[in-house]
């Protein structure tokens, strides 16, 4: 089974084999590495891609971010930060794939982004935009597994359904790795910052997150809550437990949890509309 794991890892490492990494990310990486380049230059680059700009503006204006009426890419970049826009470019291309290949997973990810935003605001945790982005991307490994290992993916779905086990258990059995680890590899090969990488790689094993455990804990809790609410479909039906490490790290209590759940359920109605909106715009 370790052979399989190596095989998966090599495929992820070979970024050329990933059709989803847009050239614009590479250019953005170059620009942001150069201290002389300005936000305007980067904004111009992003704006050159109409579809991408439209999507970024939609995301910035979506309820999960709570900024309203952001109409220019450079404002989006100032508000969200360059790192976030970079990962939005990334996630928007991933989302494009998800929307067409796995709408349920897309809704699950969007919902987790919203939940993470609510949790970090409620608990007054800084860098909530980054946490939301990490939550949007947390199951990115599932997308890659679906695209790159279509045959195994079919089997995975069947095993999960028949034996009522979790995605991770099924993935470990069949691929020798799981979507969290795969997501971590992917984040690494895309040079995403650790504050995005750790929540992606450890959202099912919060205690293993070293430098960004709070962010990882938020993403984990967001994932559990969105599963509990039955919003979207992550690929498995059952709600996992809230990990004690996350509960402790976030200093949670039942009262706070209840407030978060109530706020989340209200917000999800808006998100449902937003998601219907995007589907409608695709039909046009």
Residue 181 contact, options another protein, Fe ion, none, Cβ 5-8 Å cut-off depending on partner type: none
- In the complex, minimum distance from the CB of residue 26 to another protein, in angstroms, rounded to a whole number: 35
User: Residue 254 or 283: which CB sits closer to another protein?
Assistant: 254
Residue 14 contact, options Fe ion, another protein, none, Cβ 5-8 Å cut-off depending on partner type: none
The Cα 248–Cα 214 span in angstroms is 10
228 binds another protein, rule: CB under 8 A: yes
Assess contact for 32 and 89: CB atoms under 8 A: no
The Cα 134–Cα 251 span in angstroms is 21
User: Residue 47 or 229: which CB sits closer to another protein?
Assistant: 229
Span of 62-70, 127-135, 192-200, 202-210 interacting with another protein by CB under 8 A: 62-70
Assess contact for 198 and 216: CB atoms under 8 A: yes
Nearest one of 276, 275, 254, 279 to 111, comparing CA atoms? 275
229 binds another protein, rule: CB under 8 A: yes
- In the complex, minimum distance from the CB of residue 270 to another protein, in angstroms, rounded to a whole number: 5
The Cα 218–Cα 247 span in angstroms is 9
81 binds another protein, rule: CB under 8 A: no
Query: What tokens appear for 39 in the block?
Result: 């936000």
66 binds another protein, rule: CB under 8 A: yes
80 binds another protein, rule: CB under 8 A: no
The Cα 134–Cα 223 span in angstroms is 11
Q: 22, 81, 193, 240: which one contacts another protein (CB under 8 A)?
A: 240
Span of 1-9, 87-95, 127-135, 255-263 interacting with another protein by CB under 8 A: 255-263
Q: 223, 231, 249, 275: which one contacts Fe ion (CB under 5 A)?
A: 223
Q: Is the dihedral of CA 248, 84, 144, 112 positive or negative?
A: positive
254 binds another protein, rule: CB under 8 A: yes
The Cα 284–Cα 281 span in angstroms is 5
Half-sphere exposure of 122 (CA within 13 A, CB side): 23
Q: 237, 279, 281, 282: which one contacts another protein (CB under 8 A)?
A: 237
The Cα 108–Cα 143 span in angstroms is 12
Positions in the binding site for Fe ion (CB under 5 A): 139, 223, 234
């Amino acid at each position: 089974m370790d052979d399989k794991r190596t095989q998966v890892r090599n495929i992820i490492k070979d970024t050329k084999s990933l059709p989803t990494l847009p050239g614009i990310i590479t250019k953005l990486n170059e620009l942001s590495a150069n201290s002389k380049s300005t936000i305007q230059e980067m904004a111009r680059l992003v704006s050159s891609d109409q579809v991408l700009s439209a999507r970024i503006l939609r995301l910035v204006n979506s309820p999960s971010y709570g900024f309203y009426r952001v109409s220019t890419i450079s404002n989006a970049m100032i508000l969200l930060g360059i790192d976030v826009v970079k990962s939005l470019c990334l996630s928007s291309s991933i989302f494009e794939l998800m929307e067409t290949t796995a709408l349920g997973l897309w809704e699950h990810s969007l919902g987790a982004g919203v939940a993470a935003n609510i949790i970090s605001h409620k608990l007054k945790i800084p860098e909530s935009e980054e946490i939301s982005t990490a939550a949007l991307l947390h199951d990115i490994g599932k997308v890659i597994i679906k695209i790159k290992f279509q045959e195994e993916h079919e089997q995975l779905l069947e095993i999960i359904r028949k034996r009522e086990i979790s995605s991770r258990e099924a993935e470990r059995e069949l691929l020798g790795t799981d979507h969290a680890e795969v997501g971590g590899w992917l984040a690494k090969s895309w040079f995403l910052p650790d504050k995005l990488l750790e929540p992606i790689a450890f959202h099912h094993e919060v205690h293993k997150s070293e430098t960004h455990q709070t962010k990882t804990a938020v993403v984990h809790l967001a994932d559990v809550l969105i599963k509990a609410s039955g919003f979207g479909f992550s690929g498995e039906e059952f709600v996992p437990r809230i990990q004690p490490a996350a509960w402790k790290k976030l200093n949670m209590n039942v009262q706070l949890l209840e407030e978060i759940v109530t706020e989340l359920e209200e917000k999800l109605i808006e998100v449902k509309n937003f998601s219907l909106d995007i589907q409608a715009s695709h039909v046009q």
